[in-house]
Amino acid sequence: MPEGDTVFVAATRLAAALAGERLVETDFRVPAFATTDLAGQVVLEVAARGKHLLFRTDHGLTVHTHFKMEGTWHLYRPSERWRGQSHEVRAVLRTANRVAVGFRLGIVEVLSTRGEPNVIGHLGPDVLGPDWDVDEVVRRLRSDPPREIGGALIDQRVMAGPGNVYKSEVCFLRGIDPWAPVGSIEDLEGMVTLVKRLMEANRTTGMQVTTGDTRRGRERWVYGRAGQGCRRCGTQVRRAMQVEDSSVASTASVDEGPNERVTFWCPSCQPGMGPSVRTSRRT
């Protein structure tokens, strides 16, 4: 699933192509909005909010999309051939000069701009947004001391944007077991600040480079490296599925997918009990 910085990059590119332009044709290939026509409306802006994209028009309407696991937006010139399967197209926004095509989007809906809080109001401070507030994020983390830090860091109600990559990488860089309870971690502010710093560094590329090395295969410390030697100590990097707290299940289907997420870690650099003592509070 794309991380928040990838969505931020997508919003930036889509805004550069569409903002200030009048839509000449729209095509929503989802049953609920198949007859919706926004032709004639001007795109005011394209904004990212965590992992959500919001296309706002001068008629007070918003096209709300979410990539979920496999979604993507492509930009084309009017005469350019689309690169993708036609049956995977979920939305098309066409102006005189550009065509935005959304493939495999997990969510596509058109709503009143004033109604946006109904779909994104549950989100915490956005790591890459103007509402960022490290103190508020730390407060939300501390509100549930027994919760596993790995699940808490990607709870979009705590902070909007980070996903499995940043969860795994930040826990590694801070030497913390992803299954450690939030209440056992002294420097939560340091962890949250590191999430912010890493995502800011990738906000123009969306590449999730955390090592500072952009060469292929060297971008990350542990994420995606199960079975390989830790870059610090040589211990074999491990991978496990981490069950999220049941309290996030209501929003997980929108923001994170299944209520079980992949985690990568080095058992030597991140000492702890690991997934063997995982405590699920699902009911």
pLDDT digits (tens, 9 = 90+) for 77-101: 999 999 999 999 999 999 999 999 9
The reported pLDDT for the residue numbered 118 is 97
Least confident of 100-114, 131-145, 223-237, 261-275: 261-275
pTM of the model: 0.88
Which residues of the chain form CATH 3.20.190.10?
Answer: 4-120
Which value, in Å, is the radius of gyration of the alpha carbons in the chain?
Answer: 20
Residues of the chain with CATH 1.10.8.50: 134-277
State the architecture of 134-277 in CATH terms: Orthogonal Bundle (1.10)
* Catalytic residue status for 3: yes
Strand 99-103 versus strand 72-76 pairing type: antiparallel
* Annotated catalytic residue 189: no
Residues 4-120, CATH architecture: Alpha-Beta Barrel (3.20)
**Residue 261 among the catalytic residues:** yes
User: Which candidate in 3, 148, 219, 244 is catalytic?
Assistant: 3
With vertex at residue 139, the alpha carbon angle to CA 198 and CA 1, rounded to the nearest 5 degrees, is 40
Q: How far apart are CA 9 and CA 129, in angstroms?
A: 13
Query: How far is the C-alpha of 159 from the C-alpha of 140, rounded, in Å?
Result: 9
- Active-site annotation holder among 49, 51, 68, 90: 51
pLDDT of residue 245: 63
Band the pLDDT of 69: cuts 50, 70, 90. confident
- Establish whether 239 is a catalytic residue: no
Q: Looking at residues 112-123, what average pLDDT do you find?
A: 97
CA proximity to 281, closest of 100, 132, 151: 151
pLDDT tens-place string over residues 13-48: 999 999 999 999 999 999 999 999 999 999 999 999
Residue 121's contacts (CB-CB under 8 Å, 6 or more residues apart) are none
